[in-house]
Structure 1
């Protein structure tokens, strides 16, 4: 069994390096670190509690090695993309601390360090103990390039509304003012409940909260797992295009014509569409399952680009979504 686990750990580490290198099946619109616009974003549901990190038979040393391999792979992806803002969902507190420490100045000789904010949605998630910490809180985090880049006192955690008698778990919106390429933006991260009635309620609430939080009409970056498809009416509150859209956001992967779906809102002549690459490894409906997003306020950003990296078995049940843009003004 020991030999088997070492082989598994080696495969995990190799897979993480492939993730970090952005390798996998070539895509027609593939955005690379060399071709991407200068402002870089990541949104990733990391499946910190649900996805097992190692087998139950693993020794303490093997558990530590598995944690280190996972964190190293994620940090390598942050570096290879030269990420400015990173939004992580389904994140265990102990997992967040490991990433936080790996991206701190003491570990970053010659590389950019990152500031971070954390928000707990649940006080306990049973499988969060796999990250080696007795604190089993479960939630979200934002990582911002540059030590001290998060403006002190601007972090907010807002619990999202729920529908009575619907079996949901607590969901939050985490926000903070952060530095982005010499400017200040409102960075927000969320994970919306998948039950239909709750999804509709929470997406609308997030749109309102983010708008209310904007400082003097300044730029906003909103990432997260929204558990809804781009063209669904629930997303009208966020998108600024589509028949009934009322929002003020564009999404980084909205101009990938290979992913456009037929319909009134997406004619063959369209240059952008409420669509995008699949971001879930297994999902229903199977024909398209983009539910992870990086939204950018339309009046502040231009020439958006997006790419979902290939799924890597054993890491998460979601694809890592990379986005890029330039300043509009």
Structure 2
């Protein structure tokens, strides 16, 4: 029997941990904002996830993307979730610090879920549906690096995505997960379709856009850390930034991922200690 090809809808997704406080101290004029806008436009992104973003940088990006005529609706294309509220002596020069998302097409309302506490920064998962495609939901998160709380936060993240799917939504999930594809904690979430020497023992249902790369550590993908730390099963650096889709919605043959070096347009240095992750995400229609 010949099976018909699956109809697909594709989304160009950009995720980047921009180190807006640790490397830029909240600056909006040192090249970071321009580099983000240039990356969005240069890579043709229609959905954007940013971690470690300061509120003033988020506001500057709204103005810059409007000026570039990037959003279809300049009044409804961005959402922000503070994880550290602004305070004197805090990060970002006292302004809010958190995660942000941008969409070329208008967004619906955003849901902001606080993840199980690790005793430090109250980390969050933020999700918003596309206004004109309300069954497609985009999410961003920045999970903890505290080992004892990694699994509880991952369970909360993927549990919420599962709940959206049970309600009939297709979800694109992007973020800095502070775990790598081959970590044992990921086995229960990563799709069993992925079984390579570099990522095995999976029992879950989620695919990552770079896991089918036939050259760069198959099943694991390219490093997303700017300085090669020698980590990862292929020794080419660790991958902790990822873009996930449920295997039932994901059309692997029409999806790709690529981790690009951080632009060096912030005073001649790399703009972040993370690389820019680009995903061509094909969802079954």
TM superposition score category, shorter chain reference:
0.7 to 0.9
Report the CA distance between 1:281 and its aligned residue. 1.8
Secondary structure at 1:217 match in 2: coil
Superimposed CA distance per residue, residues 151-200 of structure 1 (whole angstroms, 9 cap, x where no aligned partner): 1xx3111111135xxx53221111111258x5641111111111111112
Once the 2 structures are TM-superposed, how far is the Cα of residue 101 of structure 1 from its aligned partner? Answer: 1.6
Cα distance in 2, alignment partners of residues 109 and 282 from structure 1 = 34
Q: Which one of the candidate residues 212, 221, 225 is aligned to 1:276?
A: 221
Q: Does the Cα contact within 8 Å between 1:100 and 1:116 map onto a contact in 2? A: yes
Task: Name the SS for the 1:327 alignment partner.
Answer: strand
Q: CA deviation at 1:109?
A: 4.3
SS state at 1:140 partner: strand
1:122 aligns with 2:84: yes
The CA deviation at 1:237 is 3.6
1:160 maps to which residue?
115
Q: Distance in 2 between matches of 1:283 and 1:136?
A: 32
Residue-by-residue CA offset, 1:61-109 (whole Å, 9 max, x unaligned): xx7642xx322221121112221210000011111110112123xx134
Q: From the superposition, tell whether residues 179 and 326 of structure 1 become closer, same or farther in structure 2 (CA, over 3 Å).
A: farther
* Selected match of 2:11 from 13, 21, 39: 39
Q: Secondary structure at the match of 1:214?
A: helix
Larger Rg: 1
Counting matched residue pairs gives 256
| 8 Å CA contact retained: 1:305, 1:324 | yes
Aligned residues of 1:144 and 1:179 also touching (Cα < 8 A): no
Do 1:308 and 1:319's aligned partners in 2 also have CA atoms closer than 8 Å?
Answer: yes
Distance in 1 separating the partners of 2:29 and 2:21: 18
Unaligned runs of 5+ residues in structure 1 are 1-36, 55-62, 130-134, 261-271
Q: Which runs of 5+ in 2 are unaligned?
A: 1-8
Matched, 1:218 2:218: no
Q: 1:306 aligns with which of 234, 239, 257?
A: 257
Work out whether residues 91 and 97 of structure 2, in 8 Å CA contact, stay in contact via their aligned partners in 1: no
Q: Report deviation, 1:246.
A: 4.0
The alpha-carbon deviation at position 258 of structure 1 amounts to: 2.1
For 1:213, what is the secondary structure of its paired residue? helix
Counterparts in 2 of 1:58-69, with a 5 A limit?
65-66=29-30, 69=31
Report the counterpart of residue 23 of structure 1 in structure 2. Answer: none
Distance 2:226 2:38 in 1: 21
User: Which residue of structure 2 lines up, in the alignment, with residue 26 of structure 1?
Assistant: none
* Alignment correspondent of 2:275: 319
Distance 1:293 1:255 in 2: 13
Q: Does 1:89 align with 2:87?
A: no
Superposed counterparts of 1:12-91, under 5 Å: 38-52=10-24, 65-66=29-30, 69-91=31-53
Once the two structures are superposed, residues 250-293 of structure 1 have per-residue CA deviations (whole angstroms, 9 ceiling, x without a partner) of 11100112233xxxxxxxxxxx62x0100012475532300000
Q: Secondary structure at the match of 1:212?
A: helix
Of Structure 1 and Structure 2, the greater strand share is in 2
TM (normalized to structure 1)? 0.71
8 Å Cα contact 1:103/1:113 also seen in 2: no
Are the structure 2 counterparts of residues 64 and 320 from structure 1 closer, same or farther at C-alpha, using a change threshold of 3 Å? closer
Give the Cα separation in 2 of the matches to 1:217 and 1:250. Answer: 18
1:257 aligns with 2:214: yes
Partners of 1:42 and 1:321 within 8 A in 2 = yes
Q: What TM-score comes out, normalization by structure 2 length?
A: 0.81
1:24 corresponds to which residue? none
Residue matched to 1:200: 151
Q: Which has the larger helix fraction?
A: 1
Aligned to 2:68: 108
Distance 1:184 1:103, change over 3 A: farther
User: For 2:161 and 2:238, how far apart are their aligned partners in 1?
Assistant: 25
